[in-house]
Structures are given as C-alpha cells and as structure tokens.
Amino acid sequence: MTTAAVHGYTSDKAAYLRRLKRIEGQVRGIARMVDEDQYCIDILTQVAAVNSAMHAVSLGLLENHLQHCVVAAAHEAGTSGSSVAIDAKVKEATQAISRLLR
Amino acid sequence: MTTAAVHGYTSDKAAYLRRLKRIEGQVRGIARMVDEDQYCIDILTQVAAVNSAMHAVSLGLLENHLQHCVVAAAHEAGTSGSSVAIDAKVKEATQAISRLLR
Amino acid sequence: MTTAAVHGYTSDKAAYLRRLKRIEGQVRGIARMVDEDQYCIDILTQVAAVNSAMHAVSLGLLENHLQHCVVAAAHEAGTSGSSVAIDAKVKEATQAISRLLR
Amino acid sequence: MTTAAVHGYTSDKAAYLRRLKRIEGQVRGIARMVDEDQYCIDILTQVAAVNSAMHAVSLGLLENHLQHCVVAAAHEAGTSGSSVAIDAKVKEATQAISRLLR
C-alpha cells in the first residue's frame, strides 16, 4: 500500500493542484490590483472570489477525508469491535470543520 | 430500537434544548433592543453572539451525526461489502457543512 | 430630536421586529425537531436557514448604521474640520463586521 | 490629486503587498502538501490559516475604504447638500461585506 492510497484526495490530486494554482494566481492578481491602486471594492470582490474558491477546495478535501476516514474507521471497528478510533477521527474532523467555520 | 436511538444527538438532547432555549431568548433580546432604539453596534454584537451560539450547536449536531453515520455506515459496509451507503451519507454531510459555511 | 431619530434602523423597525420574530420561531422549530428526534441533517438545514436570516438582519443593520454614521460624521467633520469622530466610527463599524465574519 | 490619494489603502500598500505575498506562499504550500499526499486534516488547517489571513486583509481594505468613502462622501454632501452619493457608497460597501460574509 502506497502513501497515495492512504489519503482520500489522491485520485483528484491533479484537479486540486490545478485549482490551487488558479487560487495562487488570483492572490497574485489581488496584489497587482493593490499595487496599481485599483478601486477598493473591486479588490474586495476578488478577495470574496478567493474565499469562495478556498471553501470549495476545503469542502472537497473534507468530503474525501470523511469518505476515507469512514472506510478506514469502519474497517478498524469491524475487526477490533472498538469505536475509539472512529470517535477520535470524528472529533478531529469536527475540529477541522470548526476552524473552517472560524 | 427506538427512534431516539437512531440519531446521535439524543443523549445530549436536554443540553441542546437548553442551548436552543437560550438562543431563542437572545433573539428575543435583540428584538427588544431594536424596539428600544438601542445603539446599532451593540445590537450587532448580540447578533454575533447568536451566530456564535448557533455555530456551536451545529458543530455539536454534526459531530453527533458523523459519529452515528460512521457507526451505522461501518456496520452496513461490514455486512454488505458495499460503500454506496457510506458515500451517500458522506455526500449528505458535506452538503450540510457547505450550507453552514454558506 | 428623539432617540428614534438617532439610529438609522428606526424607519425599518417594524420590518426588523417581524424578521426577528420569525427567526425566534425558527429557533423554536429547531428545538422541536431535536425534541422529536428528527433527522440530524434536516435540523442542520434549519440551522443554516437561521444563520442566513441572521446575516440578512445584520447586513441591514450595518447598512442603516453606515448611512447614519456617514451622515452624522460628515456633519461633525464639516463643522469641526476634524476626522477623529469619523475614524472612531469607522473603527467601531469594522470591529462589528469582524465579529460578524467571526 | 494623484490616484494614490484616491484610495484609502495606499498608505499601507507595502504592508498589504507583503501580506498578500505571504498568502500566495501559503497557497503554494497547500499545493505542495497535496502533491506530497500529506494528511488531509493538516491541509485543512493550512486552508483555515489562509482564510483567516484573507479575512484580515479584507477587513483592513474595508476599514480603509470606509474611512476614505466617509471622508469623500462627507465632503460631497457638505458642498452639494445631497446624500445620494453617500447612500450609493454605503450600498456598495454593504454589498461587498455581504459577499465577504458569503
């Protein structure tokens, strides 16, 4: 089993890298707008677009993680009969969601 | 198995009801502030407090749901060998999170 | 000049009170759903609806406040020639927005 | 009057450019984490950090904008006696805030 198989987002890796590359370009575009003294509200519109793109990425990663964590924790619970690993994974995921909700 | 056992939040039900009762009172308090022409910024501070309390409730419900969904989907996947039910539950949870992130 | 004239939201007061009354009812509805052991995801959908309604209220209050603060600070700056009052009002409004963004 | 004087954030321009450069680096770091198959939750923590940094930038821009818009609208209202320009500026700012709140 490779590391690649461990994380749920790996099959979509190329898509995530493309989206993050685009976000990086958007942030650079915002810097350019600031540098060129563009209108504040137009800059804020671009900031909102970056926020929105980041939210989409984080929801995708979260969905991949839940799918993986569900499968792995299901497997472990099936063999060990204990829900300790599941509870820890769920707590960890909920805390990540909480940080995304701020 | 009763309906009460189906949903993960049931063991904390009394706590959720107390928190929601408090939030209801906070919303009523905001209406009173508006009615008494109190200072806008003070009203917005109370709105932020309600938002914060609602976020805490939603994270709690989400954690309970993931714990329950994980256990139930793990059980189903263990007996059926299919991950269809897990994927559907994860998709549903992710969409709920997306609505909370707006 | 009455207190009612001081705050910008006063002309919309009846509308705000109606909206807050509706939100109060929505929160009570969520408590009922919890009490009746309804499905977690359906409850979270209602929580998202309350968040959305609260956001609309806060944006309305904020717009009213900025309109009022702009007018009042404009008047003061016009007579005193000082921008201290404007800067304080803007700082206060930005902090309120920050709390709404969490 | 130069363009630089028109927008409120210009005096802090170097600081904004530094912060945006750092955010750009954080986004690139997230892409690297995805590329190296790092743990999903760790990636989400970095996403939350970028969100937080973007919120700080947007609040700063908003504060600068309100300070500028207040001063400019105050000046216009003082000379024209009309609040049309103020109302339009406030509406525009509120819509920008709404997009940031999503």
DSSP helix/strand/coil, A60: helix
Average pLDDT over residues A34-45: 95
The residue of chain A nearest to residue D33, with distances taken between CA atoms, is A17
DSSP helix/strand/coil, C39: coil
Place of tokens 């802090």: D12
B47 touches A at CB < 8 Å: no
pLDDT at B55: 94
Two tokens, residue D62? 């908003």
Per residue in C5-57, pLDDT tens?
A: 456 677 789 999 999 999 999 999 999 999 999 999 999 999 999 999 999 99
Per residue in D72-84, pLDDT tens?
A: 776 777 677 677 8
D59 touches C at CB < 8 Å: yes
CA angle in degrees (0–180, nearest 5) for D9-B102-A6? 100
Two tokens, residue A88? 């820890």
Looking at beta carbons, which residues of chain D come within 8 Å of C59?
94, 97-98, 101
pLDDT at D37: 93
Residue A61 region, left (φ>0) first, then alpha (ψ -120 to 50), else beta?
alpha
* Averaged confidence pLDDT in chain D: 86
How far from chain centre, in Å, is Cα C45? 22
Of D6, D89, B45, which is closest to residue C73 (Cα–Cα)?
D89
D99 touches B at CB < 8 Å: no
pLDDT band at D35 (very low <50, low <70, confident <90, very high): very high
Tell me the angle at which helices C40-80 and C13-35 cross, rounded to the nearest 10 degrees: 160
Residue spans of beta strands (DSSP E) within chain D: none
CB contact under 8 A, A35 and D13: yes
Does residue A13 surpass a pLDDT of 80? Answer: yes
Contact (Cβ atoms closer than 8 angstroms) between residue B66 and residue C44: no
The residue of chain D nearest to residue B100, with distances taken between CA atoms, is D102
pLDDT at A99: 93
Does residue A2 surpass a pLDDT of 70? Answer: no
CA distance C30 to chain D (A): 23
Does residue B95 surpass a pLDDT of 60? Answer: yes
Q: B: neighbours with 3+ CB pairs under 8 Å? A: A, C, D
Two tokens, residue A29? 């575009």
Least confident of A19-33, A87-101, C66-80: C66-80
The conformation of residue D42, written as its DSSP 8-state character, comes to: H
pLDDT band at B88 (very low <50, low <70, confident <90, very high): confident
CA distance A80 to chain D (A): 24
Does residue A1 surpass a pLDDT of 60? Answer: no
Contact (Cβ atoms closer than 8 angstroms) between residue B3 and residue B9: no
In chain C the domains, ranked by start, together with CATH numbers, are 11-101 (1.20.58.1000)
Contact (Cβ atoms closer than 8 angstroms) between residue D26 and residue D53: yes
Among D26, D44, D95, which would you mutate to test the A interface (most chain A Cβ atoms within 10 Å of its Cβ)?
D44
pLDDT band at C72 (very low <50, low <70, confident <90, very high): confident
Pairwise pLDDT comparison (A92 vs D102), residue with the higher score: A92
Does residue B4 surpass a pLDDT of 60? Answer: no
D102 touches B at CB < 8 Å: yes
CA distance D36 to chain C (A): 32
Average pLDDT over residues A9-31: 94
Predicted-complex ipTM score:
0.86
* Cα end-to-end distance, chain C, whole Å: 35
Q: Is the dihedral of CA D65, D70, D75, D80 positive or negative?
A: positive
Structural Rg of chain D based on CA atoms: 18
DSSP helix/strand/coil, C1: coil
DSSP helix/strand/coil, D36: coil
pLDDT band at C4 (very low <50, low <70, confident <90, very high): very low
CA distance D101 to chain B (A): 8
CA atoms within 13 A on the CB side of B74: 26
Contact (Cβ atoms closer than 8 angstroms) between residue B66 and residue A91: no
CA distance B91 to chain A (A): 7
pTM, full prediction: 0.87
pLDDT at B2: 39
Length of chain B: 102
Of A17, A28, B27, B39, which is closest to residue C6 (Cα–Cα)?
B39
Looking at beta carbons, which residues of chain C come within 8 Å of B48?
58, 96, 99-100, 102
Least confident of B68-77, B81-90, C86-95, D15-24: B68-77
Least confident of A21-25, A32-36, D68-72: D68-72
The residue of chain D nearest to residue C57, with distances taken between CA atoms, is D98
CA atoms within 13 A on the CB side of D35: 11
